[in-house]
Amino acid sequence: MLNNLFPKVRPRRLRKNKTIRDLVSETKLFKSKLIQPLFVSDSNSQKIEIEAMPGQYVHTKETLFKEVDELLNLGIKTIALFPNISKNLKDSNGTEALNPENFLCGLVSELKNKFPELILITDVALDPYTDSGHDGIIIGGEVDNDETLKSLESMSLNLAHSGSDIIAPSDMMDGRVGIIRKALEAENLKNTIILSYSAKYASNFYGPFRDAVGSKQTQGISKDSYQMDKRNLEEALKEARLDLNEGADILMVKPGMPYLDVIREISSNTDAPIFAYQVSGEYSMLQLGIDKKIFKHNVIPETLISLFRAGSSSVITYYAKWVAENYDDIS
């Protein structure tokens, strides 16, 4: 039937040259929509390249400040900051997360003092602080939901009081967004934004991240008992609706490219902004392929565009800086 429309309709008319293609393009990459994740160690004396993520580093405090300065000059104004905490500060309950003067809280307030225009996202989950690498407290061989909530509540308050603009619960405990929102309101932190990792799948693509923050699991419990089942889409919508009802401002889908359908589903069915996280393993795949000359760098914008096309409002990507350095106008 469509054939009968030819030659009245010729889609190629709109692909004739770049100017025309730009006029009719539906999606565009802006660096103002990219967020750079950064890793920082509380104890290393120099920055260390992450083996599985060539070109990404675990920073020291000093190199982190330099990196943030460079990012701001390049127009990347938002970072997601992940600490690598010394082993001697880890324990089974992640107690150090509850210390309002811990390394990360101090760093957040120093960063905000030095760079007031920087937007800082910090993760709410216990994994940097537990010796198990789990996001919560283990009781009776399980990551206990309600006991963990108590810790997440005080961790959130610490991070918000330190100056995090956006706190991002990435733990996948039930009910955490509601508890955190209530606690923030009670302490008059009414402008702290909650970016909820709503659809965080139990993914095999987080491995390089866990190396970078030192949260590789050492115990037999799998994150499958709290992160989402890869086979489910409807459930992502359920999580998204719950989080919005509990007071989330922004929803996250994670990983990115293997879950484009999830981004589309949530963005079509809610009115909240969706952020996608192009995670560590996605970066490693691309970067190792580029380093081996299997692909060129032009695969990078292609993957990012796919996340925006699916309905993301912003993307957290280890390539944020690279994009800002290499493109003025990306389309």
- Point out which residues bind ligand PBG (CB under 6 A): 123, 125, 127, 135, 170, 206, 209-210, 279-280
Could you list the beta-strand ranges (E) of the chain. 34-41, 48-49, 57-59, 78-84, 119-124, 138-139, 142-143, 166-169, 193-200, 250-254, 274-278, 314-317
Which two tokens mark 2? 């469509």
Query: Shortest distance, CB of residue 266 to ligand PBG, whole angstroms?
Result: 18
Q: How far is the CB of 206 from ligand PBG (least distance, A)?
A: 4
Between 316 and 324, name the residue whose CB sits nearer to ligand PBG.
316
Residue placing its CB nearer to ligand PBG in the complex, 45 or 211:
211
Binding residues are: 239
Contacts 24+ apart (CB under 8 A), 238-246: 239/198, 239/199, 240/198, 240/199, 240/266, 240/269, 240/270, 240/272, 241/270, 242/177, 242/198, 243/177, 243/196, 243/198, 244/270, 244/272, 245/178, 246/175, 246/177, 246/178, 246/181
d(CA 214, CA 232): 29
Smallest distance, ligand PBG to C-beta of residue 15, A = 35
By the 8 A CB rule, do 105 and 163 touch? no
As given in the structure block, the two tokens for residue 301 are 């914008």
Are 135 and 82 in contact by the 8 Å Cβ rule? The answer is no
Answer for the pair 192, 160: CB distance below 8 angstroms, yes or no. Answer: yes
Cα–Cα dist 249/243, whole Å: 9
User: How far is Cα 308 from Cα 263, in angstroms, rounded to an integer?
Assistant: 9
The vertex-99 CA angle with 107 and 160, nearest 5°, equals 55
Instruction: Tell me whether residue 94 or residue 163 sits nearer to ligand PBG (CB atom).
Output: 94
DSSP assigned state of 201: B
Based on CB atoms, which residue is closest to ligand PBG, 170 or 287?
170
Least distance in angstroms from the C-beta of 210 to ligand PBG: 5
Binding-site residues for Mg(2+), please? 239
Task: Give the nearest distance from C-beta 188 to ligand PBG in angstroms.
Answer: 27
Specify the residue, 237 or 276, whose C-beta has the smaller distance to ligand PBG. Answer: 276
Which residues are the active-site residues? 200, 254
- Least Cβ distance, residue 228 to ligand PBG (angstroms): 11
Position 12, amino acid = R
**Minimum CB distance to ligand PBG smaller for 123 or for 239:** 123
Let me know: does 66 contact 114? Beta carbons within 8 Å: no
